[in-house]
């Protein structure tokens, strides 16, 4: 198994999207990239912890490639919005890829450059590509939030 971590706005919809992909073994939502240890949702919502709402994806690389996960990431949010997605704003909603290996870093950078060269967006892509650090799982009630409520999605598609 391998791990990938993505931030693309509100983590509820992002998690629901990745859970549907064959080869994804599990997902969990949480916080990454900030300075506060063991942050709570309430603290992250203050926009003072530095953490992004993110989804940690465990996947079987024999069934789904990291490149396929990157494609889903790019297609399911607007990577040109700085610190926001739709109505949600703040650094916790930033677009970021947290890589777990040099190979993931290179693949993420290549995919970002290809998207930029495609001119799909009229604005620059602001997605950060940074090394994964400690991932703090969100509170239980956030895990599979939409699924528990019978909802399909809440995120913005580009």
Catalytic residues: 10
* 59 secondary structure, DSSP code: E
Given phi > 0 = left and psi -120 to 50 = alpha, else beta, which region is 94? beta
Query: Which alpha helices (DSSP H) does the chain contain, by range?
Result: 11-19, 41-44, 66-75, 102-118, 145-148
**49 token code pair:** 């912890």
Cα–Cα dist 34/129, whole Å: 14
Residue 129: in which H helix or E strand, if any? strand 128-131
Residue corresponding to tokens 């970021």? 96
The residues that bridge with 85 in the sheet, in sequence order, are 88
């Amino acid at each position: 198994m391998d791990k990938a971590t993505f931030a693309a706005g509100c983590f509820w919809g992002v998690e629901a999207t990745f859970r549907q992909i064959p080869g994804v073994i599990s997902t969990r939502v949480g916080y990454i990239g900030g300075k506060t240890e063991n942050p709570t949702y309430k603290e992250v919502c203050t926009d003072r912890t530095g953490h992004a709402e993110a989804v940690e994806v465990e996947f079987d690389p024999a069934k789904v490639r990291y490149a396929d996960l990157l494609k889903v990431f790019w297609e399911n949010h607007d990577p040109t919005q700085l610190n926001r997605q739709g109505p949600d704003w703040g650094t916790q909603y930033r677009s970021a890829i947290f890589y777990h290996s040099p190979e993931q870093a290179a693949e993420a950078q290549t995919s970002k450059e290809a998207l930029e060269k495609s001119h799909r967006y009229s604005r620059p892509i602001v997605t950060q590509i940074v090394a994964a650090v400690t991932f703090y799982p969100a509170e239980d009630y956030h895990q599979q939030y939409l699924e528990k409520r019978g909802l399909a999605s809440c995120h913005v598609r580009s």
